[in-house]
Structures are given as structure tokens and as C-alpha cells.
Structure 1
Amino acid sequence: MSEEILINVTPRETRLALIENGLLQEIYLERRSRSGFVGDIYLGKVVRVMPGMEAAFVDIGLERAAFLHNSDIAPIGADGLEIRPEDSAAATIQTQLREGQMIVVQVAKDPIGSKGARLTTHLTLPSRNLVYLPRNNHIGISQRLESEEERERLLSELQQCLKEPGVRNSGGYIIRTAAEGAVASELQEDIRFLQKLWAAVERRIERGKEIRVLYRDLPLYLRAVRDLLTPCVEKIRIDTPDAFREISDFIRDFMPEFLTRIELYSGERPIFDLYGIDDEIDKALGRQVRLKSGGDLIIDQTEAMTTIDVNTGAYLGSKNHAETVLKTNLEAATAIARQLRIRNLGGIIILDFIDMDDPEHQRQVIRTLNKALEKDHARTMVTAISELGLVEMTRKRTRESLGQTLCAPCPVCEGRGRLKTAETICYEIFREIVRVARVYENDELLVMASQLVVDRLLDEESSTLADLEVLTGKTIRFEVEPMYTQEQYDVVLY
């Protein structure tokens, strides 16, 4: 599997695309006006404690107060480490926090929709190979590292590094997936970097008496290099000299073996245009995804969950019906995994595959889906096919989806995705005319509406209007209002 990372940097926006075997798999966006906050550490102020929810709202200087649940709070002991009570249910939110209290928190999830950011007091600082837990002595390793021999080697190397002179004997570490193949000197470099970083954060905590940022994560293009760069990545192409130099310095300091894979793109065509990324993004904002077999996916994202419906479409198959359904579902399973990554869909996801009677066919589809999801950087969980033929799954959501980042609700339909028909609006206008006629004694009424609605009133609904004038005893006039949407109208005295 060959991968490429494309980075497009402008003064207002950074865009990053992860390409696998020539196909877009993930897209990351960061805008100066609304960059993400996940991983940032703040000194915040508790503004409201909610005993009924076992949670508190904390002001960290963002537009909306952030949410901190009791389960994400650990009291700090005299040694600066988290205290883990034997019975976590015993510590209520009132005993943990009080209004007006200053507290050090880290953003676990970005603000999404109408919800504020999600916070935690379990602080972590990431580097290339390790995640530092400054308030916890836990030593762990990523579950994605499957080789038991490599896991044992890395844990042994880390333990040896922590015994080296000059290494601070507090805090825990988690070995990241990217550490596969790392040697002791690389782990030592990461440990030194992380401990210096935490020392700087501690100094800011001691000086802080008001709401402020204590630590801000790296910009998108450096985070991506830190988190996405693996031996599978053959090229990193950047289209801006300044970002190229910054990334080169970062790689030279932390991963010199990848230095030959970085490349400054200086072609005349925009880098995303050259690789067709913009077209892929436009497709990812639509509801329908065409499958090569002729079938399709219909993807609907709501506040509560995302639903994905699989259809056979024009595909008839060359064998029996069961084989046709299986082929479409297998192709859909792979396409769904890719769409989840491109669109960054998270939370609860319901998959409605085409009904399959054969249990072995069902198992094949679930196996294909799980295999395709193995490449996903976000944590996923998939259930078996239910009695209703649905697959329930979850995908960890830490930032807004691609649609939420790039789009806003339609001001005409207000996010419904549908408009009332011109006929429906005409009948609403008739009811409003009757209501106004009963209240006021004017001889004439004026109806202001869109061109489409006025045309219908004067054409298909003309006989109804004539009856209405007789019923109300009033003359009804019309005026086209160019600025009105199809659903807007006014009935006023003339």
C-alpha cells in the first residue's frame, strides 16, 4: 500500500489530503478563523456546576462554555499525580468542583454544532513516538501494534530510557503506533522533549490567575507529519516554501530517516487541482455515492446519528439475486469505510445493507467492513447485522465533519433539505386571507409573495381566489417580492 500526503497552505487556510493507492482517503482542514482546539490545554474557570448531570460548564475563553463531566475529572494529590479513588461513584461533582474555581483542563472534543467543547483533566502531551501523561504513572502501548515481540521490545526500551540519569521520575507514557521500529535514542529524544514541554506548561500554570491558553497543539501540517508519517508514506508534497522549511526542520529533528520523502511542489496548477482533490471534496458533500457496480449509497447526517442506505441501483448481476446482493454489499462495505474517513463522520452510524438471507454472506460483509476500517485512524466499533438487517457502529468523533466545516444550514429550508410546494403556500395564503379579513374592515388586501407562488395564485388557483373574494367581500391584489423565498409571504391591508 503506497500513501502520499499533499499539503496546501494559504494565509487563511491549510488543507491536507491523505492519498492511498491514488485515491483520497482523508481530508483535514484548518482555518485561521476557526482552527480546532483538540489537545489544547487551558486554565479555565468553572461557571456552573450541574449536580443533576454530574457535570460542570467551564469558561476557557471560547464562544460557548465547555462541558466537563465528572467521569473526566481526577483530583490531584500532593505529589502532583492523579488520585484514583477506589469507588469513583463516591466523588460527586459538588465535591470535585465549585463555581468560580480555576482549573487546568484539556480539550478532548471540538465544539460541534450547538454543543460546546468537551473537556478532561486527564492531561496528555503527544510527540512522534510517545504520549506523555504528566499526572499519571501509567505505562502503556497502542493496541494497534499487533506484534507481541515488538510490543515487548518497545516497552523494555522505554523502561530503560526512564532509568537514564537526568530523566524526571514522574509521569507516565503511552507508546504510539508510529513508534514501531523506533530505537532507544529516538525514545530518549521524545522523553526529553516532552518533559521540557511539560515544565514550560507548569510554569504557565503557576503564573496564571485568569483564563488563558497554557499549551496549544502544533499547526495542522506539523501535526499531520507527526501523526500520519509512516513507512507506507512515499511522498509528502507541500506547495508553500515557508511550510516546506518548517516541516523539513521538524522532520530533521524528530524523524531524519524521512527527510528524502519531503518535496516542495512548484508546479503551475494548484496541487489539489492536479490530483483532483477538489472534485472529491465536492462529491463528499453530496448525499449520493455511486458504486462501480451501478449501485449507490445514500448518506444522511443528522444531529443524533448518520444513516447510510445501500441500493442495488442499475446493477442486475450475472448470476442469481443472492450473488448480486452480496457483490453490491461487499463493494458498499469498502466504500462506506472510505466515505467515513473522507467525510469524517462520527458518533452513531446506522448501515442499511441490502437484505441477505444467507448467514455466510452476512459474515462476509461484516468481515469486509471491519477489514476496511482497520486503516481508519479514528476508533470504530461495529455490531453484527441485527434482526432488522441493520448494522450499528460508532466512530470516535473529535472534530466537526467535512460537511459541518465547509457548509452552513440552508437559509431557505433551514436545514430540512425540503421546501413547501407552491401549492402548499397558496393554501396557507388562503387561510391567512380569511383570518385577516375577519379582523380588519378594509375593502382591499395585498398579497406579497415569490414569483412562483403569485403565478400559481393567478393561474391554477384563480377560481379559488374568485370564490374567496365573494366569501370575504374584499378585493385581493398581488405583488411579486423578488427577495422572498418560496415559503415567504405577507398578507397586508392595501
Structure 2
Amino acid sequence: MNKELIINSAPQGVEIALLEDKKLVELHTEKSDGRFAVGDLYLGKVKKLIPGLNAAFVDVGFEKDAFLHYTDLSPFAKSLLKFTTMCMNDKSEQGLDFSKFTIEPEIVKTGKINEVLNGKPHVLVQILKEPIAAKGPRLSCELSLPGRFVVLTPFNDIVAVAVSPAKILSEQTKTNSILRDLLNADFNKIVINDKNIYSDTKNYIQKIAPEKADIVSFYNNGSTIFDSYGITKQVKSSFGKTVNLDSGAYLIIEHTEALHVIDVNSGYKSVSNNQEQNAMETNLEAAEEIARQLRLRDLGGIIVADFIDMKLPDNKRKLVEKMEEFMGPDRAKHAVLPISKFGLMQITRQRMKPEVNIITQEACPSCNGTGKISSTLLLEDEIEKNLSYLITHKNSNLKLVVHPILYAYLTKGWFMSSKMAKWKKKFGQKTRLEENSNYHLTEYKFFDKHDEEIKL
């Protein structure tokens, strides 16, 4: 498998696309402000203790207070609080001497948060989950400072190898954190269109994997970098409500407050004589795309997939096994449950930040995205009222310009039975009618005898 990292720098932030065999599998965005990302460290101020929830609300500078539960306190929380207090109270120029620093006893797993944080106005915390919807960030006092091969956990005397660290440092860029976690022999290209990011990335790779430094290149061609590598087209085709598969089958992805629902449809896929085999082939193709969509959109929480019904238990078991295989490269914690008797597969996936949501459709200018436009009768009444108003206010030699379809509606019928003929008879004045294909379907404008638009 060949992996490529394409990095597009823009004024509003940095977009990072991960390609596997030319196919887009992950899309990350690092905004210019770069605040409240998973792994960032903050010196928070305890605002309120909630004994009923065994939690605290902490001010870290976000518009809503962050949430810190007792279970997210480090066993060494008392030592961390002691360390924080010492650092805040120190005013010497030489810095603190921690050679005689003593570790405090560990807190109990079933303790109360007010026993630990009461009277402690400040606490050192790490972002565990980014702000999602109306919720503020979720915090942890169990700090971890990840490197490429090891993770430092303060006050903990355990040494562990970092197999796939998920938390990042605030001073590291999203690009470096992805490279730290994913860089391996499969990577054969990293392309960047920003000189500063290119330089930083090049230096970072020379430190962690010098043999891979040559795969980093600077992009300065005329076209945009995402267009050049076909990423823009993949984004447009991958983030809609409907996702088409190569065979003609398709997925419909719906989102609710509680869960995400994915429906598998066979579409115009050719149906073989063996219905079970056809369903299995479609489901396997859909399962691979679903696994990709979960990574690409960063969907978290509960995902329910409604596959095409299959009768054989072996096929259902094989589908679950393949789904687990397709989900293997996903760095987020996840679990795939067996197919229920209703033919539904449940997937749980760790949610640490808002899902990636890219609008791939534009609102229709005629209906403003509702899918409905005003009835022609209502539109006819509206035009007639405006025409009556203009004639009443002594406007003569009026011209009405409309869309060609509306033009056809207003002129249909015999010479004396069309809408325009009836208005001439009613108001005693002829109104010139013209068509303009550049107008929206229900758009119309009046012009005076000097051919100047009349604002209504």
C-alpha cells in the first residue's frame, strides 16, 4: 500500500489529506487559531464542583466551561496539584529545585472530586475531547506527552512503548502528529504548498526518520494542490448524503443527535441468479466504503449500518469479520458488533472532536434549498398586485421580464385568453413581456419607459 500526505495551506487554516493508493481516507483541518485541540495542555481555573456528578467545571478560556470528571483525574492528581501550586507561587529567577519533590499518595478510584479539588483554584489539564455542538471540551488530569516511540506520563514510574499514541502536544502541528503516528515504510510522498510548513515538516522527519526526508517535496505548480492530486473531486463525491459505489450500489448516510445511520442499497447493480451471493458481494463492497467513510468524516459514537438482508449465518459472520478487517487501520478506538436478527450492524467509534462536515451541494436559488417553489397561481397573483400598484401610481409603458418558463405560462392560451391579454383588458394598459434565461425560475422584474428597473 502506498501512502501520500498532501498538505494545502490557506489563509483560514491548513488542510491535510491522507491518501492510500490514491484514495482519500482521512481529511484533517487545522484552523488558524488552533485552540482546544485534543492533547493541548491548559492551566485551568476550577469554577464549580458538582458533587452529584462527581465532576467539576473548569475555565480554560473557551466560551463554555470544560468538563472534568473524577474518573479523568490522574491517580497522581494530588502530586500534580502540588506541582502546579509550586510553579505558580515561584517568583525566583533561578527556577524551582525539584530534587526534593515528594510524590503524594495516589487518590482512590471511588473517591469524591471535592475531596481532591476543594480549595484548589488552578489545575493543569489536557484536552481529552474537543468542543462538540453545545458542549465544551472534556478534560483529563492524566497528562501524557507523546513522542514517536515513547509516552511520558508525569509522576508515573511505569515505562511503556507507544504503539499508537493518540494524544498530541499543542506545540506540535497536526501534520507532525499524523507523521508521528503513521509514518512508516508505506509512505512514499509528502507534498506541501507552504514553504514554512515544508521546512518544519522536513526538519521534523529528519529528526524522527532521516531515511524518509527525501519524500518531502514543495509544490509550486499553477493549479491548486488538491485539484492537482484529485482530492477536490474525491471530497465532492464522498461527503454528500448519498455515496455511490463502483458497482452501482450506493450508501445513504443520515445523522441524528443520538447516532449515525447508514443504509446500503443495491441500486442498479446487476443482479445475478444467486440472490444471496449478490447481496454478499454488495455488502462487502459497502463495508469497505463504510470503514473509509467513518475515518474520512471522523464519525463517532454509535453507527448503525443496515446491510442488504442475507440468510446464511456464515455470510453474516464473514461480513462482520471483513468489517473488522476494514476498520483495522482506523486509529480511533472502535468495536464492531455482530449483525442483529433485524439485519443491523452496530459500530461504536471513539468521538474526540466534531465530525468533518463538508457541504457538497448548493442551495437552489429558486427554492432556497427547500425543494419547493411558490405555486404559479400565487406567483401570478403577486405579479398582478405589483402591476396594479405600478399602474395606479401612473407608471406607463411598463416592461415585465421573466424566466422563459414563466414567460410561457403567462402567454399560453389563445390570443385573448392569455394572462397578459387579461391584464391588458383589466388595467387598460399594455405591458411588454420579455424573457431572460439568466433569471431564476420564479424571478421577475419590472422596468419603466427608460428601461430602468423599478424597485418594488
Q: Is the pair's TM-score, using the shorter chain for normalization, greater than 0.5?
A: yes
Q: Name the CA shift for 1:218/1:81 in 2 (closer, same or farther; >3 Å).
A: farther
Q: Please give the alpha-carbon distance, in whole angstroms, between the structure 1 residues aligned to 2:286 and 2:2.
A: 23
Q: Name the CA shift for 1:121/1:248 in 2 (closer, same or farther; >3 Å).
A: same
Q: Name the CA shift for 1:94/1:22 in 2 (closer, same or farther; >3 Å).
A: same
Work out whether residues 80 and 135 of structure 1, in 8 Å CA contact, stay in contact via their aligned partners in 2. Answer: no
TM-score of the aligned structures, taking structure 2 as reference length? 0.71
**What corresponds to 1:46 in structure 2?**
46
223, 227, 243: which one pairs with 1:289? 243
Q: Please give the alpha-carbon distance, in whole angstroms, between the structure 2 residues aligned to 1:15 and 1:73.
A: 33
Give ranges in structure 2 of 5+ residues lacking alignment.
83-100, 379-405, 407-456
Work out whether residues 47 and 99 of structure 1, in 8 Å CA contact, stay in contact via their aligned partners in 2. Answer: no
Q: Name the CA shift for 1:110/1:411 in 2 (closer, same or farther; >3 Å).
A: farther
Shift of residue 10, structure 1, vs aligned partner: 2.6
Q: Please give the alpha-carbon distance, in whole angstroms, between the structure 2 residues aligned to 1:411 and 1:287.
A: 14
76, 83, 108: which one pairs with 2:78? 76
The count of residues paired between Structure 1 and Structure 2 equals 351
**What corresponds to 2:204 in structure 1?**
250
Work out whether residues 305 and 347 of structure 1, in 8 Å CA contact, stay in contact via their aligned partners in 2. Answer: yes
Work out whether residues 46 and 99 of structure 1, in 8 Å CA contact, stay in contact via their aligned partners in 2. Answer: no
**What corresponds to 1:310 in structure 2?**
264
Cα-Cα RMSD: 2.9
Work out whether residues 355 and 389 of structure 1, in 8 Å CA contact, stay in contact via their aligned partners in 2. Answer: yes
Q: Name the CA shift for 1:80/1:395 in 2 (closer, same or farther; >3 Å).
A: farther
Q: Name the CA shift for 1:312/1:326 in 2 (closer, same or farther; >3 Å).
A: same
Which segment is superposed worse, 52-61 or 26-35?
26-35
Shift of residue 100, structure 1, vs aligned partner: 6.7
Work out whether residues 339 and 345 of structure 2, in 8 Å CA contact, stay in contact via their aligned partners in 1. Answer: yes
Q: Please give the alpha-carbon distance, in whole angstroms, between the structure 2 residues aligned to 1:82 and 1:108.
A: 24
320, 323, 329: which one pairs with 2:277? 323
**What corresponds to 2:6 in structure 1?**
6
Q: Please give the alpha-carbon distance, in whole angstroms, between the structure 1 residues aligned to 2:12 and 2:33.
A: 8
Q: Name the CA shift for 1:229/1:36 in 2 (closer, same or farther; >3 Å).
A: farther
The answer as to 2:223 corresponding to 1:236 is no
Q: Please give the alpha-carbon distance, in whole angstroms, between the structure 1 residues aligned to 2:102 and 2:59.
A: 23
Q: Please give the alpha-carbon distance, in whole angstroms, between the structure 2 residues aligned to 1:387 and 1:51.
A: 42
The amino acid that maps onto 1:102 is H
Q: Please give the alpha-carbon distance, in whole angstroms, between the structure 1 residues aligned to 2:370 and 2:332.
A: 32
Q: Please give the alpha-carbon distance, in whole angstroms, between the structure 2 residues aligned to 1:110 and 1:177.
A: 20
The amino acid that maps onto 1:48 is K
**What corresponds to 1:97 in structure 2?**
117
353, 376, 379: which one pairs with 2:330? 376
Which segment is superposed worse, 276-285 or 256-265?
276-285
282, 304, 316: which one pairs with 1:350? 304
Work out whether residues 240 and 359 of structure 2, in 8 Å CA contact, stay in contact via their aligned partners in 1. Answer: no
Work out whether residues 47 and 100 of structure 1, in 8 Å CA contact, stay in contact via their aligned partners in 2. Answer: no
For residues 250-273 of structure 1, the C-alpha deviation after alignment (integer angstroms, 9 at most, x for no partner) is: 122222121111111222211100
Shift of residue 131, structure 1, vs aligned partner: 1.4
Q: Please give the alpha-carbon distance, in whole angstroms, between the structure 2 residues aligned to 1:70 and 1:259.
A: 44
**Equivalent residues in 2 for 1:8-407 (5 A)?**
8-33=8-33, 35-74=35-74, 75-77=77-79, 83-85=105-107, 88-89=109-110, 91-98=111-118, 101-141=121-161, 175-177=162-164, 216-403=170-357, 406=358
Work out whether residues 45 and 58 of structure 1, in 8 Å CA contact, stay in contact via their aligned partners in 2. Answer: yes
**What corresponds to 1:146 in structure 2?**
none
Work out whether residues 78 and 106 of structure 2, in 8 Å CA contact, stay in contact via their aligned partners in 1. Answer: no
Work out whether residues 30 and 36 of structure 1, in 8 Å CA contact, stay in contact via their aligned partners in 2. Answer: no
Q: Name the CA shift for 1:109/1:7 in 2 (closer, same or farther; >3 Å).
A: same
SS at the partner of 1:294?
coil
Indicate the structure with greater helix content: 1
Work out whether residues 78 and 107 of structure 2, in 8 Å CA contact, stay in contact via their aligned partners in 1. Answer: no
Q: Please give the alpha-carbon distance, in whole angstroms, between the structure 1 residues aligned to 2:237 and 2:188.
A: 26
Q: Name the CA shift for 1:39/1:80 in 2 (closer, same or farther; >3 Å).
A: farther
The amino acid that maps onto 1:176 is V
The amino acid that maps onto 1:331 is E
The amino acid that maps onto 2:160 is G
Q: Please give the alpha-carbon distance, in whole angstroms, between the structure 2 residues aligned to 1:17 and 1:139.
A: 33
Work out whether residues 78 and 116 of structure 2, in 8 Å CA contact, stay in contact via their aligned partners in 1. Answer: no
Moved over 3 A (4+): 33-36, 77-86, 417-423
SS at the partner of 1:37?
coil
Work out whether residues 49 and 99 of structure 1, in 8 Å CA contact, stay in contact via their aligned partners in 2. Answer: no
For residues 347-374 of structure 1, the C-alpha deviation after alignment (integer angstroms, 9 at most, x for no partner) is: 1111111111110110111111111111
Give ranges in structure 1 of 5+ residues lacking alignment.
142-174, 179-214, 427-454, 456-494
Work out whether residues 151 and 160 of structure 2, in 8 Å CA contact, stay in contact via their aligned partners in 1. Answer: no
Q: Based on CA coordinates, which of the two structures has the bigger radius of gyration?
A: 2
Shift of residue 298, structure 1, vs aligned partner: 0.7
Q: Percent identity?
A: 36
Work out whether residues 58 and 66 of structure 1, in 8 Å CA contact, stay in contact via their aligned partners in 2. Answer: yes
Q: Please give the alpha-carbon distance, in whole angstroms, between the structure 1 residues aligned to 2:67 and 2:144.
A: 18
The amino acid that maps onto 1:46 is V
SS at the partner of 2:63?
coil
The amino acid that maps onto 2:206 is R
Q: Please give the alpha-carbon distance, in whole angstroms, between the structure 2 residues aligned to 1:322 and 1:336.
A: 20
Work out whether residues 317 and 323 of structure 1, in 8 Å CA contact, stay in contact via their aligned partners in 2. Answer: no
Q: Name the CA shift for 1:227/1:99 in 2 (closer, same or farther; >3 Å).
A: same
Q: Name the CA shift for 1:271/1:98 in 2 (closer, same or farther; >3 Å).
A: same
Which segment is superposed worse, 351-360 or 314-323?
314-323
Shift of residue 132, structure 1, vs aligned partner: 1.0
Work out whether residues 291 and 327 of structure 2, in 8 Å CA contact, stay in contact via their aligned partners in 1. Answer: yes
SS at the partner of 1:217?
coil
Q: Name the CA shift for 1:402/1:81 in 2 (closer, same or farther; >3 Å).
A: farther
SS at the partner of 2:78?
coil
The amino acid that maps onto 1:9 is S
Shift of residue 339, structure 1, vs aligned partner: 0.7
Shift of residue 400, structure 1, vs aligned partner: 1.4
Shift of residue 309, structure 1, vs aligned partner: 0.8
